[in-house]
Amino acid sequence: MPLETYPDLDALQRFGVGAVLSDGLDSVEGFEEADGVGVDLVDFRVSTRSDGAAVLLSVDAPTLESAERTARQMVMGVLEASGILADWRVVRSEVQLHDDLVYESLMAADGPDAPSEDPMLRARGPLPEERARIERQAAGVRAFGLDAFGCDADTAQPDVPEEKARLAAGAVAASVGVLVDLLFTDLVNLRAEDGASFFVLDELPVQEEGFVRRFVVAAVEILGRLSGTGWAPPACFAEEMALRLLVDQGASMLERLGLYDDDVEAAFVTFSDAALEDPDSVELRLSDPGPEAWFEPIVPGRPVHAYLRAHRHEW
């Protein structure tokens, strides 16, 4: 939502804009269209800039069209109700279906070209456009080459065929955003007063907000390193756990598409070994050292994210 009247917001103005938008969206639970179609607001994020703000809404809607239409109306309603931002306008909006829902939709689709309900039959005929999309994302794992997925270019017969190694690498890259989004969604659900189900938090030993916030930071820290040109092994057990969850997410993605087989499994195992290899760690790590040690350095003196150390006693 760029501004034309006030093109240069200072830090205080940006803070105020963010507060107004956040407060307005906090009061929105959902939206019902004229035909009775309901759309629920699940979560939102507001990011302010010097020329306006970007608003990311997560909504539960029956169709992509209703999601985009009602999300735009929600934001416009908040702007108008605020008074101070009533002259702002939405200049661009787009909608994206969550990756997990894409796969669920594909698996549940009806029609003569729909994938079979039988997993074995789905495995015989994966969707070529979905496979190609995942393979293209392999380049996103810049910290590792295909050799880390079992395909050594200098070997005549690598342990994992190139196409399977590329598929596994693409699934890892595609799963980064999915895993982080699921963690944020779980964090929101954790704050709900009634019992809520989780996507990822069931894998954690402590489901308390302070612990979860620290885990999210640790996950973002190490998952971000996958797109860099260098690699540093996990600094703490929480980072190691985030990598394991990422591989599990990638494996689940390929299983849903019928693309998971022995070669892909071998690629994931090889990648896990490469990513977790730590030449500076002289002791074998426990499978779970206990929640009080999740954010402590694996190797004494190794730096971990400052947030993990600064908030160690919040849970």
- Output 161 or 110, whichever has higher pLDDT: 161
Residues 172-193 have a mean pLDDT of: 87
262 pLDDT tier (thresholds 50, 70, 90): very high
Q: What is the pLDDT of residue 271?
A: 95
- pLDDT confidence of 49, banded at 50, 70, 90? confident
Tokens of 81: 């109700």
**Mean pLDDT for the stretch of residues 267-285:** 80
Which has the minimum average pLDDT: 6-20, 26-40, 132-146, 183-197?
26-40
pLDDT at residue 120 in the model: 45
User: At 3, is the pLDDT very low, low, confident or very high (cuts 50, 70, 90)?
Assistant: very low
Residue 194 dihedral angles phi and psi, to the nearest 5°: -90, 170
Among the ranges given (5-14, 144-153, 170-179, 306-315), the one the predictor scored with the smallest mean pLDDT: 306-315
- Whole-number pLDDT of residue 152: 84
Query: To the nearest whole percent, how much of the chain has pLDDT over 90?
Result: 26
Check residue 127 and give its pLDDT: 59
52 conformational bin, left if phi > 0, alpha if psi -120 to 50, beta if neither: left
User: What φ, ψ does residue 257 adopt, rounded to 5°?
Assistant: -95, 0
Enumerate the H helices of 111-208 as residue ranges.
119-124, 128-136, 162-190
Per-residue tokens: 101: 């829902």
Residue 96's pLDDT is what?
A: 62
- For 90-94, which contacts have Cβ atoms below 8 Å and span 24 or more sequence positions? 90/1, 91/1, 91/2, 93/68, 94/68
pLDDT of residue 315: 47
pTM: 0.60
Query: How do the residues of the chain divide into helix, strand and coil, expressed in percent and rounded to 5?
Result: 50, 10, 40
**Nearest alpha-carbon partner for 237 in 252, 215, 254, 268:** 215
Residue 51 has phi, psi (to 5 degrees) of: -110, 15
More confident residue, 66 or 236: 236
pLDDT of 193 over the 80 cut: no
